[in-house]
Copies of this chain bind each other. A is one copy, B any other.
């Protein structure tokens, strides 16, 4: 299936924003990169802000929809955490540029876009915290301060796309196997 012109705009913009930052890119730059006239961009999209909003909300919604589904599944909390880590790896591979935009430029979202992004982010963190609490309550997870675990695991997952962009020598299969080990089961032999 070929991409719509709107999808092409978003993909090109996410790469340009990633390389030079949201503020440095004009609609004119974007049009030039696509080999079209700036005016014709506006047949598909209303503003640069709308593009940024679509890029960031796309990945935010994928993360939050996934955790909402997992949260309700009949799985142990450990299986849920494993699924969450695999989802982060998958989105990292699929939406590298989108994640870089989210990381660097979410602060430039305005009004409703920013509010929607922050709501999705809070919802994600809240579900993540509840899954950890479930694991502690059911005796699957150790009695470790919840906020320390949230910080440590989410920091690693949220930074994954930056690190992985520089480490392409590591096989995806290795990442899928060793990242959950590192984050959930520890690096020390028992």
A residues at B contact (CB < 8 Å): 78, 132, 135, 139-142, 144-145, 147-149, 151-153, 155-156, 159, 163, 167, 170, 174-175, 178-179, 181-190
| Complex A-B: 29 CB contacts under 8 Å | A132-B187, A139-B189, A141-B188, A141-B189, A142-B181, A142-B185, A142-B188, A144-B178, A144-B181, A144-B187, A148-B170, A148-B174, A148-B175, A148-B179, A149-B178, A149-B187, A151-B159, A151-B163, A151-B167, A152-B156, A152-B179, A152-B183, A153-B187, A155-B156, A159-B159, A183-B186, A184-B187, A185-B186, A190-B190
Query: What is the minimal beta-carbon distance from A106 to any residue of chain B, in angstroms?
Result: 16
Given contacts A78-B188, A145-B170, A155-B163, 6 further A-B contacts (CB under 8 A): A141-B189, A144-B178, A144-B187, A148-B182, A155-B156, A155-B159
Main secondary structure of the interface of A (DSSP, over half): helix
Partner among B148, B151, B174, B188 whose Cβ is within 8 Å of the Cβ of A145: B174
Query: What is the minimal beta-carbon distance from A100 to any residue of chain B, in angstroms?
Result: 16
Q: How many chain copies does the complex carry?
A: 2
Cα distance A150–B24 when bound, in Å?
33
* Chain B residues near A175 (CB-CB < 8 A): 145, 148
* Chain B residues near A185 (CB-CB < 8 A): 142, 186, 188
Q: Are B178 and A145 in contact (CB under 8 A)?
A: yes
* Chain B residues near A182 (CB-CB < 8 A): 144, 148-149, 152
Cα distance A69–B155 when bound, in Å?
28
Partner among B78, B145, B155, B181 whose Cβ is within 8 Å of the Cβ of A155: B155
